Amino acid sequence: MRRSWILVIAIACGTPAPPPAAPRGPTGCERASDSMVLAMLARLPAGATPPTEEADALRNLIRERCERDGWSAEATQCLIAMKQLEDAAPCAKLLTDEQQAALVRDQEAQLAAPPARAAAPAASGAAAPPGSDPVAPGSAASSPDGSGTPSPK
């Protein structure tokens, strides 16, 4: 009888506890979309109120396109590393024409949405359609007033 208890204790003590779940951090797509939107917002004039709702909508749109379209790790790392909008141009070459076209299409649809849901205008150039200049977020053509900066609410 004593031997069976020793065996039970030995088995119970020898079973390691499952490791705690690793904390979940932001995905590459989340980090890339954050970086892109932050670079766009950095172009706002000093003291301007950031368009929070529009920025969040744009951030979500970019993240969704990245996840759905399977942007490469190289493309997302390039976008994460960007510090200013001009840094995005080389990143566009890492996206396929289809990935760029889907992002532009969704951004244009978001811009056409009612004002309460419109995206930050400067971001609409985050990727260019096939055959045009790649990734030109904040270009004059991408904002309604031609300034290349999002208009505050």
Give residue-wise pLDDT tens across range 12-59.
Answer: 555 566 677 766 888 999 999 999 999 999 999 988 988 999 999 999
Sign of CA dihedral 108, 81, 86, 35: positive
15-19, 29-33, 63-67, 74-78: least confident range: 15-19
Give the pLDDT band of residue 65 (cuts 50, 70, 90). very high
Domain coverage including residue 113: 27-42+51-138
Q: Is 55 within a domain? A: yes
What is residue 24's predicted lDDT score, i.e. its pLDDT?
A: 80
Query: Do the domain assignments include residue 149?
Result: no
CB 129 within 8 A of CB 101: yes
Name the residue with tokens 């109120």: 49
Q: For the CA atoms of 65, 69, 75, 76, what is the dihedral angle to 10 degrees?
A: 50
For residue 89, give the 3-state DSSP assignment: helix
- pLDDT at residue 146, rounded to an integer: 41
Q: Tell whether 37 is covered by a domain.
A: yes
* Domain membership flag for residue 101: yes
Q: Is residue 61 part of a domain?
A: yes
pLDDT at 2: 55
Predicted TM-score (pTM) above 0.85: no
Spell out the long-range contacts of 93-101 with Cβ–Cβ below 8 A and sequence spacing 24 or more. 93/134, 95/71, 95/127, 95/134, 95/135, 97/130, 98/69, 99/65, 99/69, 99/71, 99/127, 100/127, 100/128, 100/129, 100/130, 100/134, 100/135, 101/127, 101/129, 101/130
For the segment 86-130, what is each residue's pLDDT rounded down to a tens digit? Answer: 999 999 999 999 999 999 999 999 988 765 544 433 433 444 333
Q: How many domains does the chain have?
A: 1
> Domain for residue 124, yes or no?
yes
The answer to whether residues 107 and 113 touch, using CB atoms and an 8 Å cutoff, is no
Does the residue 132 lie in any domain? yes
| Residue 13 located in a structural domain | no
The pLDDT value recorded for residue 79 is 96
